């Protein structure tokens, strides 16, 4: 046993001795040099290590950033945002979103906790802007995100029904940490559409984050989800762990249009 141990250690000693001047060898060389005047060989070894370390760090940093940037770019394309919107562009003071709620949403803590977000409010009150901007922030933070309107989602899943791939389609969507479904309730769903939406919500429940926007307060969801029982079960799951934000006020589009009309144009415009 002893002999074996000694054999192992001997092999390791040989291995270390045979290795070219690496960090450990150089450290030893530095220790030696610390007590005595450094000879030119030690100086050269130290300089060589410094050069090598700098190059390695630079190379790793370069590769890391390039790879990270390429991955973020790929995730951004896969997310399918219709327009670029950012949190920086969102004028919080002009919205009805309370600052603490906004800060919580911008922290993306809810995505990490697989919680949901429901934005409810009339046209032009910043629902899509917030959804896209938060989705964008989630992509930048390294999450996989997918944006669809409810109409696109139902069309996708209906096609899945036709070729028997609906389970696969839902699984593919739920591969993302955050699935955004905008414009829920803009078009009414039939019984099959309601079932399909339910399957997504049920699949995401406590596993993934769903962020949705709708014009309709929840009590009115029966208007576009004809199956009452499914609608109730769907909302029950959607709202169990969810931040609900009611966006109120005048349409931002209207406000902008009015200010454009009232701001006189400069000569060269
Ligand atoms: N608080 C805000 N700060 C900056 N831009 C805003 C704000 N709210 C809305 N906007 C801008 O106003 C326009 C309309 O907003 P958005 O599309 O988010 O509204 P919406 O609530 O989704 O409306 P709809 O229900 O009709 O889809 C967009 O160009 C958006 O960037
Ligand atoms: Mg919208």
pLDDT digits (tens, 9 = 90+) for 153-206: 999 999 999 999 999 999 999 999 999 999 999 999 999 999 999 999 999 999
* Cα–Cα distance list, 245 to 103, 161, 242 (Å): 13, 33, 10
Token pair listed for 20: 């070219």
What is the span of the domain harbouring residue 63? Answer: 2-67
Residue 199 falls inside a structural domain: yes
Residue 265 falls inside a structural domain: no
pLDDT on residue 50: 53
Question: Are 220 and 153 found together in one domain?
Answer: yes
Please give the angle made by the CA atoms of 152, 102 and 112, to the nearest 5 degrees. Answer: 65
| pLDDT band, very low/low/confident/very high, at 244 (cuts 50, 70, 90) | very high
pLDDT on residue 21: 39
Residue at a domain's end among 67, 89, 112: 67
CATH of the domain at 191: 3.40.50.300
Mean pLDDT on 102-108: 98
* Cα–Cα distance list, 44 to 30, 51, 269 (Å): 11, 10, 66
pLDDT on residue 204: 98
Question: Are 219 and 187 found together in one domain?
Answer: yes
Residue 72 falls inside a structural domain: no
Judge whether residue 210 has pLDDT over 80: yes
Cα within 13 Å of Cα(244), Cβ side:
13
Question: Are 194 and 244 found together in one domain?
Answer: yes
Question: Are 47 and 143 found together in one domain?
Answer: no
Number of domains in the chain: 2
Judge whether residue 49 has pLDDT over 70: no
Judge whether residue 74 has pLDDT over 90: yes
Residue 262 falls inside a structural domain: no
Residue 266 falls inside a structural domain: no
pLDDT on residue 102: 98
Residue at a domain's end among 67, 94, 111: 67
pLDDT on residue 261: 80
**Distance between Cα 171 and ligand 1 center (Å):** 30
Alpha-carbon distance of 235 to 208, in angstroms, equals: 16
User: Which ligand 1 atom is the nearest neighbour of the CA of 121?
Assistant: 21
Q: Which helix (H) or strand (E) holds 76?
A: helix 40-79
Residue 109 falls inside a structural domain: yes
Q: Which tens digits make up the pLDDT trace of 26-47?
A: 333 343 344 444 456 656 655 6
Residue 263 falls inside a structural domain: no
Q: Are 200 and 101 in contact, with CB atoms under 8 Å apart?
A: no
Judge whether residue 254 has pLDDT over 60: yes
**Distance between Cα 38 and ligand 1 center (Å):** 68
Question: Are 24 and 113 found together in one domain?
Answer: no
pLDDT on residue 128: 98
- Which residue has the CA at smallest separation from atom 5 of ligand 1? 90
| pLDDT band, very low/low/confident/very high, at 263 (cuts 50, 70, 90) | low
Judge whether residue 135 has pLDDT over 70: yes
Question: Are 88 and 148 found together in one domain?
Answer: yes
Where does ligand 1 bind, in terms of residues with CB under 6 Å? 85, 89-91, 94-95, 123-129, 213, 215, 252-253
| Range scoring the smallest mean pLDDT among 102-111, 224-233, 259-268 | 259-268
Residue at a domain's end among 67, 95, 110: 67
Percent of the chain surpassing pLDDT 70: 74
- Strand 178-184 versus strand 145-149 pairing type: parallel
Mean pLDDT on 91-119: 97
Question: Are 135 and 233 found together in one domain?
Answer: yes
Residue 193 falls inside a structural domain: yes
Q: Are 136 and 70 in contact, with CB atoms under 8 Å apart?
A: no
């Amino acid at each position: 046993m002893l002999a074996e141990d000694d054999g192992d250690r001997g092999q390791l000693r040989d291995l270390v001795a045979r290795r070219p001047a690496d960090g450990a060898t150089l450290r030893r060389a530095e220790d030696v040099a610390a007590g005595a005047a450094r000879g030119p060989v030690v100086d050269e070894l130290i300089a060589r290590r410094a050069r090598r370390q700098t190059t390695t760090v630079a190379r790793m940093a370069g590769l890391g950033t390039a790879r990270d940037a390429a991955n973020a770019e790929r995730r951004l394309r896969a997310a399918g945002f219709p327009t670029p919107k950012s949190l920086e562009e969102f004028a919080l003071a002009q919205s009805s979103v309370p600052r603490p709620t906004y800060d919580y949403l911008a922290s993306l803590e809810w995505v990490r906790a697989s919680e949901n977000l429901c934005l409810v409010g009339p046209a032009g009150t910043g629902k899509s802007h917030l959804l896209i901007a938060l989705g964008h922030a989630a992509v930048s933070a390294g999450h996989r995100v997918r944006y669809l309107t409810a109409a696109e989602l139902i069309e996708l899943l209906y096609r899945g029904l036709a070729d028997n791939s609906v389970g696969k389609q839902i699984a593919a969507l739920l591969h993302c940490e955050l699935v955004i479904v905008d414009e829920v309730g803009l078009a009414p769903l039939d019984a099959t559409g309601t079932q399909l939406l339910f399957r997504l919500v049920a699949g995401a429940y406590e596993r993934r984050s769903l962020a949705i926007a709708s014009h309709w307060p929840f009590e009115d969801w029966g208007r576009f989800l004809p199956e009452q029982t499914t609608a109730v079960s769907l909302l029950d799951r959607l709202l169990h762990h969810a931040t609900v934000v009611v966006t109120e006020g005048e349409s931002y589009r209207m406000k902008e249009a009015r200010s454009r009309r009232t701001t006189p144009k400069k000569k060269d415009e």
